[in-house]
Amino acid sequence: MGLSGFDAVILAGGRSSRLGGEPKALLRYNGQSLLRRTLDNVRAARRIAVVGPDELRAELEAFIDAEPETAVVLTREDPPFSGPAAGIGAAVNALREGFANDDDGGAALRAPLTLIFACDMPALGTLPQQLLDAAERNPAVQLVLPVDPDGRTQPLASCVTSAALDAAAAGYGPDGLAGMPVRKLLEGLKSLQLPLESTATADVDTWDDAQRFGIAPPAP
């Protein structure tokens, strides 16, 4: 995929309640925050919308300094902590508003595909490119869903056609996405499952998860 081939959504605005409120986006793995690792994994995107609080801004600015050709915007679901579907809706709006001078509100300038990732998957590796390749090989498909080795689909590590994603989010209106499961947001899309042999989608929800990646809890 070239630079114009995809946009990206990174969800980084959860409560991290099982981490005692420690922002998982800022946990460090191999010297980088989880947010920065995710940003690096999608750095070829035309535009990236990060959904999360203002405390992430320093990480975004460091990424922008390193990747000045990639446009990045920080946004937030409304109200905050209203769930990942609401976060995706906020990201879609931010991606479209980035082209506010365009007569159709940015639709014509949206990249054809959108990658969606939670920020807490340290081992993504080549998964973004695998998703893009699968979407390119299957142009009739609207949604590519990875399936982890345990047989679970992973909508927060997926690739969606931008037109289908924007229409799905718009169909629920400004308040309809709050508290909605992401699976419901995407359920009407023609999908393709992509079996994974790796643990690329393994995430960090608890300190036990973090320690499996060698991520230490903060000092008391």
185 within some domain: yes
**Domain total of the chain:** 1
Q: Say which CATH number the domain at 21 has.
A: 3.90.550.10
Alpha carbons 70 and 50: distance in angstroms, whole number: 13
Its pTM stands at 0.92
Determine how many CB atoms are found less than 10 A away from the CB of residue 195.
9
Residue ranges making up the domain that contains 172: 6-212
| Averaged pLDDT for residues 187-205 | 94
61 within some domain: yes
| Averaged pLDDT for residues 99-119 | 74
219 within some domain: no
Alpha carbons 185 and 165: distance in angstroms, whole number: 9
Residues pairing with 29 in the sheet: 32
217 within some domain: no
Higher confidence at residue 42 or residue 172? Answer: 42
pLDDT at position 219 over 80: no
218 within some domain: no
1 within some domain: no
